[in-house]
Structure 1
Amino acid sequence: MIRRALAGAAVLATALGLLPAVAPTTAQAAPATFTHPGVLVGTGQLDFVRAKVQTGAQPWKAAYDQLHTSKYASLTRTAKPRAVVECGSYSNPNNGCTDEREDAIAAYTLALDWYITRDSRYAEKAIQLMDAWSGTITDHTNSNAPLQTAWAGSVWPRAAEIIRYGYGNWPAARVTRFATMLRTVYLPEVANGSRSNGNWELSMVEAGIGIGVFLNDRAVYDKAVALFRNRVPAYIYLASDGPLPRTVPGSGLDTRDEIVNYWQGQGTFVDGLTQETCRDLTHTGYGLSAISHVAETSRLQGQDLYPEIADRLRHALGFQSKYQLGTAVPSWLCGGTLNQSLGPVTEVGYNALANRLGYGMTNTRLLTEQQRPAGTNNLFTAWETLTHADNPA
């Protein structure tokens, strides 16, 4: 009787919008075996890009030139590993934070450069960077440790997948050491998610799913997917959610005031609004980028998560793009002001939703084309015009 009464109270509270719950979705099964390379980019995509660059086709040639001439593709780069990377809020203090993120982006950049040119110098330099860090780092500390770990931990597997399964001349002992680094230094910081702003947990999920693929570890992969399925509906609002946004189970957000406060003080909810829109578009971009990356990796692994999150992601990309393109911000939205910009984060989601799934996304298309070639945010997003623009693979 008590259990039934509590259940009835919960149903009533949910109907009133006080306990928004994540409704169950049709879950697609995890892959039987992992596909490699298969973190954000796969063989078909890479082959498509290589062919386009070799023929000078645009926008891929301009995007490749941007990558190739960047500091991240330098063959004279010296790795700057640290045993302990200490990152406070907004990387203050910054004891190895920028060095770690940039060395990870450089390894990925060099891996892509190798794939396109087949010049082994780029692959060897990528290996050198990965070996330097795997032989040194033991921990991340201070308040931003989970986010720092997530950012670097989402990029390392991209580079490692291309080198291990494309180039192939990475000594087995060092591959093992790199895998051990991912499992013992990075995974513990990201595996259980976060109750902070949504971009934290989404970035942590991205790192977790990439690490799971590289380690061929189904339990790690599945745990990341479970976190993703809870967090995305709680990050992007749809009118079908009811009067209030959904919440992550266990979040402790039980009242309207608590939810509005968590949504940066925004009390009017419309399709595509995110939990961080009224914070700023840059952090919103981090969240949307991570969502796209996780969905893309899952698709490469044969477990396509895009259908589950397509409606939310397309509305979110379109909503933020509309205002970044110059539409006047109404007074009911974030007090009439939106801060900063999304950054180079729309290519992956736009290609998947508009080109592969056929959604009309005019505002996202206009912003995506306006920003080409998309470079890097120097954190975890890099070269996505090159890798994903109109890529059918």
Structure 2
Amino acid sequence: MTRALSRRGFLGAASSLALATPLFPQERARADAGTPFAFAHPGILHRQDDLDRMKAAVAARRDPVYSGYLALAAHPRSSAGYTVQNTGQITSWGRGPTNHMSEAVADSAAAYQNALMWCVTGERAHADKARDILNAWSASLQAITGADGQLGAGLQGFKFVNAAELLRHGGYDGWPQADIVRCEKSFLDVWYRAVSGYMLYANGNWDLTAMQTILAIGVFCEDRTLFEDALRFAAAGAGNGSVPHRVVTADGQGQESGRDQGHEQLAVGLLADVAQVAWNQGVDLYGYMGDRILANVEYAARYNLGHDVPFVPDLDRTGKYIKQSVSAISRGNLPPIYEMAYAHYHGVRGLPTPYTEQAVFRGPGGARAVEGSNDDLPSWGTLTFAGTAAPAPPAGPPAAPAGLHAVPAESTVTISWLAAAWADTYTVLRAGAPGGPYERIADGVGSTSYTDRPPHHGRTYYYTVSAANASGRGAGSAVIAACTGLPEPWTGRDVGDVRTPGSAAFDGERFTVEAGGADIGGTADAFHLVHLPLRGDGVVMARVVWPLSSQYSKVGVTMRGALTADAPHASMLIQGFRSAPGAVCGPPGPRPAARRRPPAARRCRRRSSRPSRRRPPSRSRTSARSRTPRHRWRRRTWRRPATATGCACRTGYGWNAGGTASSGRSPRTARSGPKWAPPRSTWAPRSTPAWCCAPASASTNRTPRPERPRSTTSP
């Protein structure tokens, strides 16, 4: 019997999970005095004890590390005489179409490999070469382009940031502070901009390239917002790359196992990269969901070593990729990904890893296979990870938990988080306002999840978690907000015949909608709405945040005559899209820190017959202007009858006390623009019958793109 497709789909197979999104308010009180939050440096792929272990083994010519070093040293991109490809001529680069792609691939690898050579040998010429490469790219690069530009940015950007981290914190004194600052600016304004949307419309390896690079940039730039957002996405993101959607069965089947083994093993390696960075910052993503990542590594190694594996037919999160059986394409070609996973699960944790171990020792007669180079992966695992042993527990308190996410229900809020390494218990705190005061609601929690019953239904509450061990209590996590149900007078409902019920959650600033349906815009609509009464004249405004999870998703702003499937309506809807070839990757306009908040969609109702001062871009009510292929802004004004309903849809909106709907502030813009008053149970619109709704016709749930704040602190 053929088993049914799994639950992780879109449209009729969409799940009903609604996630609260991150909150980084302007002012936050210290809820409880604990260890201040701090990043560890070097702390992306390699920590100082890793570098010391490599350096000692190479100096003593001790295998297998020395054999790994010889392989690295023999590679032409590891040479201090390497010719830098970017001599200032590259102001943009990208993929699909190719735009200086080979130069970025070569230079990113050369920067990382020369930085490693410096750390292992102490030869200054290698550090100088890595510095020259980083300086060339940070000085010239202004944009990343192409339909596949985001993917390339996630792959090559990760190597560039690792190189920068090793130079900055590896004892090298030849990199001027002004050059370091310019490199930081380039990572934040060019590289992060390209990957900030997590590419939800693609296979999971796309999400993962974004995750690893955002996480690495967060560490290098000491930007906690980016660090937290990447780990929150890893734990509970809506795309194919988050752990629950990437590893689709407890046996370890990967989302791309039915595609081909090249892409599947790439994704295995990328997810391990993310877990390694998290581990080096004291966060245990490796152990999440009962060592789910280990199951994925074991599954890939098992199949590519020639063994049979179980397979469950699967439909991915976008609804585009249906896999009926495991793919034998590229089977048996093992990329350099297994040493790192083996080092952690076997060396650090002491767990059984039979197939991963076979992959590591697959040489003749069971000899260790020396891992070499790969353009899409950091590589060189024999040098960098062989010989890793369990470290002694640190003397101090554990790091802050990360990746907090909330699943609200009608009367409860369940808070979950990624474990802090070396933590014994956790403390959960709650406040009724983002600035506190915070009260302890649970102490001595032994798991990484807690279900709260807030005292007031429909009110937004703010949560933070800290970890403790015998040495004390560590820093508090970043704050998240969640609301039981929806704040009055908001309600949610499905319209028409939807095969899977939709859901919505509110976090004090924005709504997150997960929906399954057929369409919006016909006489048999099927979608999910979040709506409230808007009595008399009023305005609905919304910013559509890119990207949608699939080209099958449809969102927008609409006025409906009723909440029935065949109701008359006036709508402005956007269907999912990808960037066009040659388009610049990332949001439009000047640097995000200085960008003004533009309106996205505007619906006005006035009894006056005079034309509005805010006119639409053209005479057509269905027209819209597009700033770029990646970010579309909508604005509309018209009169409507008293029986109409108004809708705004996307995964997140914040609605202020004046009755206007606008997108919730992302972390990067939370420090600028007007202050937003979240609705409470006593909220009432200023205008006085109509409805404002938030529909979605497909799986559109995602954590909205964070935008880098100027500073972050934790309570």
Counterpart residue identity of residue 233, structure 1: P
Is 1:274 aligned with 2:274? no
CA contact (8 A) 2:117 2:126 kept: yes
Counterpart residue identity of residue 223, structure 2: D
Match of 1:47 among 52, 58, 80: 52
CA contact (8 A) 1:272 1:318 kept: yes
Check 1:345–1:309 CA distance in 2 against 1; reply closer, same or farther (3 A cut): farther
The residue number in structure 2 matching 1:363 is 355
- 1:181-192 residue pairs with structure 2 within 5 A? 181-192=186-197
Check 1:335–1:193 CA distance in 2 against 1; reply closer, same or farther (3 A cut): closer
CA contact (8 A) 2:78 2:117 kept: yes
The residue number in structure 2 matching 1:379 is 376
String of CA shifts for 1:258-298, please: whole Å, max 9, x gaps: xxxxxxxxxxxxx1111101111111122111111111111
Match of 2:306 among 321, 326, 329: 326
Match of 1:118 among 104, 118, 122: 122
String of CA shifts for 1:134-174, please: whole Å, max 9, x gaps: 11111111110110110111111111111011113211111
Check 1:232–1:54 CA distance in 2 against 1; reply closer, same or farther (3 A cut): same
Check 1:193–1:173 CA distance in 2 against 1; reply closer, same or farther (3 A cut): same
Match of 1:60 among 56, 65, 70: 65
- 1:1-393 residue pairs with structure 2 within 5 A? 18-20=13-15, 32-81=37-86, 82-88=90-96, 93-166=97-170, 167-195=172-200, 196-230=202-236, 231-239=242-250, 271-309=251-289, 311-328=291-308, 335=325, 337-340=327-330, 341-370=333-362, 372-392=369-389
Looking at structure 2, the residues matched to 13 and 353 of structure 1 have their Cα atoms a distance apart, in angstroms, of 28
| TM-aligned CA deviation for residue 128 of structure 1 | 0.6
CA contact (8 A) 1:190 1:204 kept: yes
SS class of match (2:335): coil
Check 1:77–1:31 CA distance in 2 against 1; reply closer, same or farther (3 A cut): farther
Counterpart residue identity of residue 286, structure 1: L
Gaps of 5+ in 1: 1-11, 240-270
Check 1:388–1:331 CA distance in 2 against 1; reply closer, same or farther (3 A cut): closer
| TM-aligned CA deviation for residue 331 of structure 1 | 9.4
Check 1:165–1:280 CA distance in 2 against 1; reply closer, same or farther (3 A cut): same
Counterpart residue identity of residue 246, structure 2: Y
CA contact (8 A) 1:31 1:303 kept: no
Counterpart residue identity of residue 339, structure 1: I
Looking at structure 2, the residues matched to 197 and 83 of structure 1 have their Cα atoms a distance apart, in angstroms, of 29
The residue number in structure 2 matching 1:267 is none
Looking at structure 2, the residues matched to 322 and 62 of structure 1 have their Cα atoms a distance apart, in angstroms, of 25
The residue number in structure 2 matching 1:254 is none
SS class of match (2:287): helix
User: Larger % of strand: which?
Assistant: 2
String of CA shifts for 1:74-99, please: whole Å, max 9, x gaps: 222222221111311xxxx3221121
SS class of match (2:265): helix
| TM-aligned CA deviation for residue 332 of structure 1 | 8.0
CA contact (8 A) 2:261 2:327 kept: no
CA contact (8 A) 1:344 1:374 kept: yes
CA contact (8 A) 2:257 2:327 kept: no
SS class of match (2:169): helix
Taking every aligned residue pair, what percent have the same amino acid on both sides? 29
Looking at structure 2, the residues matched to 55 and 369 of structure 1 have their Cα atoms a distance apart, in angstroms, of 22
Looking at structure 1, the residues matched to 158 and 8 of structure 2 have their Cα atoms a distance apart, in angstroms, of 38
SS class of match (2:81): coil
String of CA shifts for 1:273-324, please: whole Å, max 9, x gaps: 1110111111112211111111111111122222215521111111111121
Check 1:331–1:130 CA distance in 2 against 1; reply closer, same or farther (3 A cut): closer
The residue number in structure 2 matching 1:251 is none
Check 1:128–1:44 CA distance in 2 against 1; reply closer, same or farther (3 A cut): same
Query: Which gives a bigger RCO, structure 1 or 2 (Cα 8 Å, sep 6+)?
Result: 1
Counterpart residue identity of residue 208, structure 1: I
Structure 1 or 2, whichever has the larger Rg, is 2
The residue number in structure 1 matching 2:511 is none
Superposed CA RMSD: 2.5
CA contact (8 A) 2:57 2:65 kept: yes
Counterpart residue identity of residue 184, structure 1: D
Counterpart residue identity of residue 148, structure 1: G
User: Larger % of helix: which?
Assistant: 1
Looking at structure 1, the residues matched to 8 and 198 of structure 2 have their Cα atoms a distance apart, in angstroms, of 26
String of CA shifts for 1:222-278, please: whole Å, max 9, x gaps: 111111112111010234xxxxxxxxxxxxxxxxxxxxxxxxxxxxxxx11111011
SS class of match (2:205): helix
Looking at structure 2, the residues matched to 13 and 207 of structure 1 have their Cα atoms a distance apart, in angstroms, of 25
Counterpart residue identity of residue 84, structure 1: S
Check 1:31–1:191 CA distance in 2 against 1; reply closer, same or farther (3 A cut): farther
String of CA shifts for 1:12-62, please: whole Å, max 9, x gaps: 999xx94446699xxxx9981011111110100010111111111111111
Q: Which moved more, 1:201-210 or 1:277-286?
A: 277-286
Q: What TM-score do the two structures reach when normalised by structure 1? A: 0.81
Count, aligned residues: 341
Check 1:103–1:310 CA distance in 2 against 1; reply closer, same or farther (3 A cut): farther
Check 1:205–1:62 CA distance in 2 against 1; reply closer, same or farther (3 A cut): same
Check 1:124–1:188 CA distance in 2 against 1; reply closer, same or farther (3 A cut): same
Looking at structure 1, the residues matched to 18 and 254 of structure 2 have their Cα atoms a distance apart, in angstroms, of 18
SS class of match (1:34): coil
SS class of match (2:225): helix
SS class of match (1:376): coil
Check 1:130–1:321 CA distance in 2 against 1; reply closer, same or farther (3 A cut): same
